[in-house]
Amino acid sequence: MDNAEYQREALNQSAFDMLTLCTSQLEKAIEAFISHDSDLSEEVIHRENRVNAMDIKIEKDCEKFLALFTPVAVDLRFIMAILKINSDLERIGDHAFNIATYVVEEEKAIPAHLFEAVEFDKMHETTKSMMDNITVAFEEKDVKMARKVFKKDKVLDKINIKSFNILEMEIQKDQSIIKEALFLFSVIKKMERVGDLIKNVAEEIIFYTDAEILKHKRKK
């Protein structure tokens, strides 16, 4: 393995580690949010430093690779994809951190019937499945697997859109849950954003593998 290939493989591994770390952060943050587990939230908050450190490391390694190896064609697409994927993952990590912070700061748990009303479980399962899809897609450079997330993202969008009216109705029924409903609404928004970021990662995997630019092109 020559030096360029060795560096490329190392970067690929770092990006995969970042993906695994952010997947775990997101999963733990949502679990902590649902079960109002402040210990688990603390763990997510504590590990945010690792996400930031890896983000900086990958960015520096990409810069070094660009400067030293002046990549072209597939290597250039690889570096461009890694840079963007890294930034998207770091933002997913930020969302996980913010969700975990809510749990730590708020003493009262979200009432179970609110989760049910907005289909939060479905949102959780969909996000989890999307993260699984991009993990496999990234590891195996599997474009077909990456494309699976686009349809799933629409599920998140629908839940997000419907949640406003649902929560408004719930608040009208019981005004003592205003604060919790607002928190839940805010987390749903974050999950919807996470869906968009996962979609971006999938687009980058497709760009790197097939040299196809999907950004701003896909039919709504």
Binding site for other proteins (CB under 8 A): 1-2, 4-5, 70-77, 211
- In the complex, the smallest distance separating the C-beta of residue 211 from other proteins, rounded to whole angstroms, is 4
Among 83, 92, 87, 104, smallest CA distance to 149 is for 92
Rounded Cα–Cα distance for residues 29 and 43 (Å): 9
In the numeric block, the tokens 């763990």 are attached to 43
- In the complex, the smallest distance separating the C-beta of residue 77 from other proteins, rounded to whole angstroms, is 8
State the amino acid at position 181 in one-letter form.
A
- In the complex, the smallest distance separating the C-beta of residue 78 from other proteins, rounded to whole angstroms, is 10
Q: Quick check: 134 and 146 in contact, CB under 8 A?
A: yes
Residue 98: is it exposed, middle or buried by C-beta count within 10 angstroms (0-12/13-18/19+)?
middle
Q: Quick check: 137 and 172 in contact, CB under 8 A?
A: no
What token pair was written down for 206? 């497709």
- In the complex, the smallest distance separating the C-beta of residue 4 from other proteins, rounded to whole angstroms, is 6
- In the complex, the smallest distance separating the C-beta of residue 58 from other proteins, rounded to whole angstroms, is 21
Angle, CA 67 vertex, CA 61 and CA 68 arms, to 5°: 85
